[in-house]
Amino acid sequence: MPTDGFSFEVIATKGKARAGILHTPRGDIPTPVFMPVGTLGTVKAMTARELATPPLDARIILGNTYHLYLRPGLEVIEAHGGLHNFSSWQRPILTDSGGFQVFSLAAINQIDDDGVTFRSHIDGSKHRLTPEVAMHIQGVLGSDIAMAFDQCPPGQAPADVQDLAMARTTAWAARCLAVERPAGQALFGIVQGGGDVDRRRRHLEQLATMDFDGFAIGGLSVGESIDTMYAVLDAFAADLPAHKPRYLMGVGKPADLSHGVAAGVDLFDCVMPTRNARNGSLFTHDGKITISNAKHKADTRPIDDECDCETCQTVSRAYLRHLYIAKEILYNRLATIHNLTVYAAHMRRLRESILRS
């Protein structure tokens, strides 16, 4: 049975691409959509009000189970009544289960069939993460969409490692579904299988028998080639249940989003726009610019004359370069506003193209 208050409708298609509406108790989300990443309960350098204000107008953001569990800790978030109140963000939130950290922090983790034992990357303290613990944390966070706990192997992992990750992810998915969730919290399953499409389809067959509200493609953009990722998307994304939202985890560049939408994906997330902004790499309608380059030192133009973000409407490339070189904090905010607005506008254009077809 679908989670109360949560549903998905496709309102237009163009080939495999879909335009839809994801209905949640905290508001409707037009799809396809890019979700800004707020790992620690904050999209870095942004206030909740800035995120929700047009032209950015983010409809959903991410939080992370692993990181928020370690800092500030569940007691602090529970005292606020959940992550929405803690972060002053009242629109929908999706929380990663912590499975990706099993991959990205593999050097300090030990995985077994029951779960993961890990050392905190903050203070070295020892912790245990299982499907039940991951669901409990997400219940305390009160996210609108929780992710099932999974094992994400490296992109070039051998077949036996991929098969073991799939088997554990399937077993853990069933255990996640057995945990009682807060009212209105949807749960997505995650399909693994690396770059082998047949393996992906076998794993989906197992997960599709379970009562998930949506399905995610995990284990891409984790070391495999772009060609491999695109081949998996082209051959497999549209195999995910047509009546439920499809989520591609951790991807990517604007071109990757376009490719994913064309393959039939509805939701995306990635740290790229915020991380690149802080590192001086800014997106425009015709490619990236590196703001530290000397050619921008006296450039009076905005980052992108087709962008209607606050940054492009108020300051020049030269001013942004000055802030970046001087390591002024304001640079991070202005650059992040711009990159996220570019991503939001890109997704709106893709959606409008589908609706016009």
Give catalytic residue positions: 96, 269
Which tokens is 239 given?
């195999």
- Tell me the CA distances in angstroms from 254 to 196, 317, 335, one per residue in order: 24, 21, 16
Q: At what angle do helices 159-177 and 197-207 cross, to 10 degrees?
A: 20
- Do residues 4 and 183 make contact, with C-beta atoms less than 8 angstroms apart? yes
AA letter at 247: Y
Q: How far is CA 208 from the centre of its chain?
A: 21
Element (H, E) at 137: helix 131-141
- The sign one gets for the Cα dihedral 253, 258, 263, 267 is positive
Residue 105, token pair as written in the block: 């922090």
Between strands 116-119 and 126-129, the pairing is antiparallel
Q: Do 284 and 301 contact (CB within 8 A), yes or no?
A: no
CA angle (283 as vertex; 281, 289 as ends), nearest 5: 50
